[in-house]
Amino acid sequence: MRISGRQFLQGNEAVVEAAIAAGCRFFAGYPITPASEIAETMAIRMPQEKGIFIQMEDELASLSAVIGASWAGAKAMTATSGPGFSLMQENIGMAVMTETPCVIVDVQRSGPSSGQATRAAQGDLMQAKWGSHGDYELIVIYPNSVQELYDKTIEAFNLAEKYRTPVILLSDEIIAHMRENIYIPETLDIIERKRPRPEDKEHFLPWKPDDDGIPPMAKFGDGFKVMVENNTHDATGRTNQTDAALHTQLINRLCNKILNAKKDIVKTEGLFLDDAELVVVSCGCVSRSALEAVKMARQKGIKAGYFRLITIWPFADEQLIEVAGATKKMLVAEMNTGKLLREVKRVVDPYGVQVNHLPKIGGAYHTPGEILASIEKAVNENE
């Protein structure tokens, strides 16, 4: 039974309840800190919802099971962290190539390898986009609160179904283990999978896209002839690995169905930007301290602004360029050594914006005071 109203939930629990509300009825995973509560709670909740929970032998197999479940008609999800996310990369590429809707939750922890297994980090921003091989585009969302973990988990399922693609929901140890009051409305907007019409069964081409670039997805057992093919394939599903034009057409379609929909996909949050002389750019758990630091700076008479990336990929180039046109300086605060900084500089360097950096690793996120000190230092530079 779906919960609603006021709830006091842990971040990982909110992901589970939102997935169930979105229609998820299959979860396969392998326990790993700090994502384990998702698997633990799914093990309880899936049977209650007549769904299926499977603990697989590893993370690669977990995503394989999720892909298979999706083709069998289920909305499906897995959750992992650090090393497990690395193991999933091959099958993320397979999900892209087979246009398999599914949701992958990565609760980031400090690495590389086992690193600080119980501590928070934001080191997977690039891996979430570039971890698998070949040319492809992904949707990656990064909430910053328990409420947003609920809301954005539902959005992740909706985007996965709408665009027939794997969607990665980034979290981190801090918001995953945080407990907050959230509100869950009685009714939710849920997108269901686009199915082929029964009258098209005889001549159905499983990989022929509609005008939106997205083919309807048949389900195993419905009587449609479907060949699930992760090699380069034509509209029938037959493999052809030597036709350059066919490969180019397929890959461009897979990329463009995401890139051409950036206005629908990309979400950001901006506050105090109208007169900002310096804008703090952040995402995830760090953005909570960043907003507090900006408010503290405003109280001291410093014209600071706040810009948060909610969608990490596709990157918010257009939104960031708009901010760059109205400010002189930016400060990127992040829990890694410079991944978000690299993208911000790529976008705003042509506009002459000075970009300062406040990295932090070791498991503890920035305090508002640390960010405020960097704001004051950046504002006073070159004066």
Q: Residue 382's pLDDT is what?
A: 67
- Domain with residue 354: its CATH number is 3.40.50.920
Out of 184, 208, 224, a domain closes at 184
SS3 (DSSP) at 85: helix
Q: Could you tell me if residue 250 is inside a domain?
A: no
Of 340, 310, 344, 316, nearest to 329 by C-alpha is 344
Domain count across the chain: 2
Q: Could you tell me if residue 232 is inside a domain?
A: no
Q: Which residues are 308's β-sheet partners? A: 269, 282
Residues 174 and 274 in one domain: no
34 preceded by cis ω (within 30°)? yes
User: CA 58, 59, 61, 66 torsion: positive or negative?
Assistant: positive
Distance CA 160, CA 158 (A): 5
Q: Could you tell me if residue 334 is inside a domain?
A: yes
Helical H segments across the chain, by residue range: 11-22, 36-48, 59-71, 82-87, 89-97, 127-130, 146-163, 173-177, 244-259, 262-265, 284-299, 317-324, 339-348, 368-380
Span 150-205, pLDDT tens digits: 999 999 999 999 999 999 999 999 999 999 999 999 999 999 999 999 998 889 99
Q: Could you tell me if residue 126 is inside a domain?
A: yes
What average pLDDT does this structure show over 228-235? 92
Residues 293 and 175 in one domain: no
Residues 35 and 164 in one domain: yes
CA distances (Å), origin 196, targets 67, 96, 369: 19, 20, 55
Residue 1 confidence class, pLDDT cut points 50, 70, 90 = confident
Q: Could you tell me if residue 158 is inside a domain?
A: yes
User: Could you tell me the residue range of the domain that residue 152 belongs to?
Assistant: 5-184
CB count within 10 Å of CB 146 equals 24
Residues 180 and 278 in one domain: no
Distance CA 48, CA 69 (A): 18
Residue 101 reports pLDDT greater than 70: yes
CB count within 10 Å of CB 191 equals 17
User: Mean pLDDT over all residues of the chain?
Assistant: 96
Angle between helices 368-380 and 284-299 (to 10 degrees): 60
pTM over 0.95: yes
Residues 274 and 146 in one domain: no
Angle at 60 between CA 76 and CA 95, to 5 degrees: 50
Q: Could you tell me if residue 14 is inside a domain?
A: yes
Q: Residue 209's pLDDT is what?
A: 95
Out of 184, 215, 246, a domain closes at 184
Q: Could you tell me if residue 237 is inside a domain?
A: no
Residues 283 and 163 in one domain: no
What average pLDDT does this structure show over 3-7? 93
Residues 280 and 168 in one domain: no
Span 107-142, pLDDT tens digits: 999 999 988 988 999 999 999 999 999 999 999 999
Distance CA 239, CA 272 (A): 53
Out of 184, 219, 248, a domain closes at 184
Q: Residue 2's pLDDT is what?
A: 83
Q: Could you tell me if residue 220 is inside a domain?
A: no
- Domain with residue 149: its CATH number is 3.40.50.970
Span 252-288, pLDDT tens digits: 999 999 999 999 999 999 999 999 999 999 999 999 9
What average pLDDT does this structure show over 96-115? 95
Residues 180 and 319 in one domain: no
Residue 244 reports pLDDT greater than 90: yes
Q: Residue 381's pLDDT is what?
A: 85
Of 340, 290, 285, nearest to 123 by C-alpha is 340
Residue 39 reports pLDDT greater than 80: yes
Of 73, 74, 72, 76, nearest to 56 by C-alpha is 76
